[in-house]
Amino acid sequence: MYRIGVDIGGTFTDLVVVEDAGAVHFGKIASTPEDQSIGVMAGLDMMAGRLLMPLVAMLGQTERIVHGMTVATNALLERKGARLGLLTTEGHRDVLEMREGLKPERYNLRLPRHPALAPRALRFGVRERMRDTGSVETSLDMDSLDTAIEALRGEKVEAIAVCYLHAYANPAHEQQTRDRLAELLPDVYVSLSSDVLPQIKEYERVSTTAVNAYVGPALERYLARLQNRLKETGYSGPALITLSHGGVAPISEAIRLAAGTVLSGPAGGLAGARHASGVLDVGDLIPFDMGGTSTDISLIVDGETTLSSDRVVAGERIALSSLDIVTLGAGGGSIASVDTGGLLNVGPHSAGASPGPACYGNGGVEPTVTDANVALGFLNPDGFSGGGSALDTKAANTALDVLAGKLGVERITAAEGVFRVVNTQMAEGVRLATVRRGVDPRRFALFGFGGAAGLHVTSLARMLDIKRAIIPRMASVLSAWGMLTTDLRYEMSRTKIGEIGEMRPEELQMLFGGLEGDVKGALSAWFEGDIRTSRTADMRYGEQIFEIDVDLNHIDFADEGAGQAAKQAFEARHEELYTYSLPDREPVLVNARVAAIGELSAPPAEPLVARGPDLKARGVRKIYLGAWMDAPVFAFSELPAGQLITGPALIEADTTTVLLRAADTALVTDTGWLDIAISD
């Protein structure tokens, strides 16, 4: 039987097929933005071809397809989501657009206004009001609701977000509103804030709910098409969708919680990195995913990822828990420029997929990071990006010459400058990510994947004083592979504000026990196996605004000292993150969270790569690392286990190239990955 991972990115759709025996096959095919399911089916067909069988036969022997996609992300980034209406409590119509009073780009006072996902004309107040205790202050006024619904009908909205004040404490009015909408506007996609994010803080809740309803219809249409195509092709197994928190869920759940798919792809990559951490027995990793327009950085500490809920995508706040990933606006396509003060900048503008870097020969004229890498000799001018298309070295040089002229330096110096500056930016990004988590990057290994990471990890590691870098064999399709390593996950949270140390065990039992029953119930609708649960809580000191996520799994809530134990867990975590705790102050519980996890069978171990005589270099290329030098070039996929390669050297795969700097040594692992010792 096969398991298939599919990850759709902006340019390529990546596919990974894992056999029972562990063999991993992977490939890439162009994405089809107008209907991503076309690209998926073409990719599946391609993989079936590689397995020398018809598509129907391959799908007939497939037990699971796990899928990550950018449908929701693109709808948000390109502002092509649904025509969205918003219902709020009367008198609070503008909570979405107010953005808590914040405007980006502090010194840019000529910045145009950021349009809200639901413009004011499509936002309506409804007469109703709850209290923070959950008591009803003003009952839902059905006339007021019907008037708003009629107006939304007139505006021909495709989706409606409903977010009433304190609905986390009592969702009755939102539920009555949903029922009424189902009667009057049955074809409209509806999201309730009490369903999407039932927790206190109205801006986070309304924004997340609005994003959910905005991207929901597009996601629903896409997944319906995909499901049909798979069905037509004879696939009857489960299709699971990767969510931003790194777990997977069936299609129906992804449609309900559409905003939770926004980080689907990066979550797959991080899931893969976490799995790799276990396989490699390296607990502390910095997953570093460098693509064409951006770079995702995260942390794995003691083999575990962390969840965070402070994500902003395309200027919109999404407060659902998602894997903690820092995205930097620098990648292979980032454009280098010289400012009027004569200093070199890389990014934030990117040549994107079209025209792409000058060396792609598609009309790009501005020098990018990739063009610099070509000039430095790091990339094979004869073939790149799997498609094997040759690079236009001349166009890259022309673009760099303009830059060099402005800097008053030689072309090669300019190219090296671009390489150094982008590496510095990424190193600062890693530092920021680690200080935020209160850890020292030096004890970590860099785990590089994504098309562009291989050329930059060894330089980045030096800047951060990191001694080890690891590149998996499937570096260019890690997200698709990672999706096959995750479990089913269903999360719920509930707001309950109070001093945790004072809470009675019965109170905690009722709160967490209730949530546990709910999440298990939801998950068992899609899953028959054993379900385990994980309990965490968002807590803070009284005066603080930021809550921190505290693991409570080790606490027995039947125990008399449960509240105190939770308090201590908070203090330990606070100290870890912020260097201090205040034992004489009472931490406040804000949100209780429980996740139900349905464990899927882990992917079989990768087969071992044969040992053998050292592979000889397939050629030598001149590269520039402060001076021109000869670098032997090796074929990544043909390396035998145990081979040791000393830099300077280049190790090339179809879709990625790894640079070893002088005296770096790469050991080929038993599964054919590169384990690189960075020289001093």
Instruction: Write out the binding residues for other proteins, residues 398-457 only, by CB under 8 A.
Output: 407-409, 413-414, 416-417, 420-421, 424-425, 427-428, 431-432, 435-436
| φ/ψ of residue 618, rounded to 5 | -90, 0
Residue (151 or 522) nearer to other proteins, CB: 151
Min separation Cβ 408 and other proteins, Å: 8
The DSSP output letter for 647 is S
Of the candidates 130, 205, 200, the residue with the CA atom closest to the CA atom of residue 162:
205
98 to 117, contacts with other proteins by CB under 8 A?
98, 100-114
Min separation Cβ 18 and other proteins, Å: 39
Residue (110 or 554) nearer to other proteins, CB: 110
Min separation Cβ 592 and other proteins, Å: 16
Pairing of strands 531-541, 123-126: unpaired
Min separation Cβ 122 and other proteins, Å: 9
Cα separation, 28 vs 13, in Å, equals: 6
Strands of the sheet containing 12-19, edge to edge, are: 24-30, 12-19, 2-8, 62-68, 239-242, 248-250, 488-499, 587-598, 531-541, 548-551
Min separation Cβ 463 and other proteins, Å: 9
* Number of residues engaging other proteins in binding (CB under 8 A): 71
Of the candidates 404, 437, 394, the residue with the CA atom closest to the CA atom of residue 297:
437
Binding characters for other proteins, 486-505, by CB under 8 A (x = yes): -----------x--------
Options 219-227, 536-544, 618-626, 629-637: segment touching other proteins (CB under 8 A): 536-544
194 to 213, contacts with other proteins by CB under 8 A?
200-203
For tokens 């008037």, the residue is 147
End-to-end CA distance of the chain: 46
Of the candidates 259, 264, 273, 272, the residue with the CA atom closest to the CA atom of residue 244:
264
CB 11 within 8 A of CB 31: yes
Classify 414 as helix, strand or coil: helix
Min separation Cβ 315 and other proteins, Å: 13
Strands of the sheet containing 445-449, edge to edge, are: 325-328, 295-298, 285-290, 445-449, 468-471, 674-677, 665-668, 644-646
Instruction: Say how far residue 424 (Cα) sits from the centre of its chain.
Output: 23
Among 302, 580, 613, 680, binds other proteins (CB under 8 A): 580
Min separation Cβ 61 and other proteins, Å: 50
CB atoms within 10 A of CB 142: 15
Of the candidates 455, 453, 380, the residue with the CA atom closest to the CA atom of residue 416:
455
For tokens 């908070």, the residue is 570
464 to 483, contacts with other proteins by CB under 8 A?
none
Residue (180 or 431) nearer to other proteins, CB: 431
Residue (27 or 417) nearer to other proteins, CB: 417
CB 469 within 8 A of CB 676: yes
Residue (167 or 374) nearer to other proteins, CB: 167
| φ/ψ of residue 365, rounded to 5 | -120, -10
Binding characters for other proteins, 72-91, by CB under 8 A (x = yes): -------------------x
Residue (464 or 609) nearer to other proteins, CB: 464
Residue (128 or 220) nearer to other proteins, CB: 128
603 to 622, contacts with other proteins by CB under 8 A?
none
Residue (429 or 454) nearer to other proteins, CB: 429
Residue (168 or 634) nearer to other proteins, CB: 168
Cα separation, 176 vs 199, in Å, equals: 19
Binding characters for other proteins, 139-168, by CB under 8 A (x = yes): --------------------------xx-x
Residue (201 or 225) nearer to other proteins, CB: 201
- Detail the DSSP E strand segments found in 546-670: 548-551, 587-598, 619-624, 628-635, 644-646, 649-652, 657-660, 665-668
Residues in the chain: 680
Is residue 627 close enough to count as binding other proteins by CB under 8 A?
Answer: no
Among 558, 582, 605, 608, binds other proteins (CB under 8 A): 582
Residue (17 or 426) nearer to other proteins, CB: 426
Among 46, 344, 629, 662, binds other proteins (CB under 8 A): 344
CB atoms within 10 A of CB 47: 22
542 to 561, contacts with other proteins by CB under 8 A?
543-546
Residue burial 143-164, b: 16+ Cβ < 10 Å; e: rest? eebeebbeebeeeebbbbbbbb
Residue (392 or 547) nearer to other proteins, CB: 547
Residues 6+ apart with CB under 8 A from 562: 503, 505, 508, 555, 556
Min separation Cβ 140 and other proteins, Å: 17
256 to 275, contacts with other proteins by CB under 8 A?
none
Classify 437 as helix, strand or coil: helix
CA dihedral (267, 269, 275, 278) positive or negative: negative
Cα separation, 33 vs 24, in Å, equals: 27
Binding characters for other proteins, 34-73, by CB under 8 A (x = yes): ----------------------------------------
Options 259-267, 303-311, 579-587, 642-650: segment touching other proteins (CB under 8 A): 579-587
Retrieve residue 312's tokens: 């902003």
Min separation Cβ 541 and other proteins, Å: 6
312 to 341, contacts with other proteins by CB under 8 A?
338-341
Residue (342 or 613) nearer to other proteins, CB: 342
Residue (45 or 155) nearer to other proteins, CB: 155
Min separation Cβ 193 and other proteins, Å: 11
Among 132, 502, 556, 599, binds other proteins (CB under 8 A): 132
632 forms beta bridges with 620
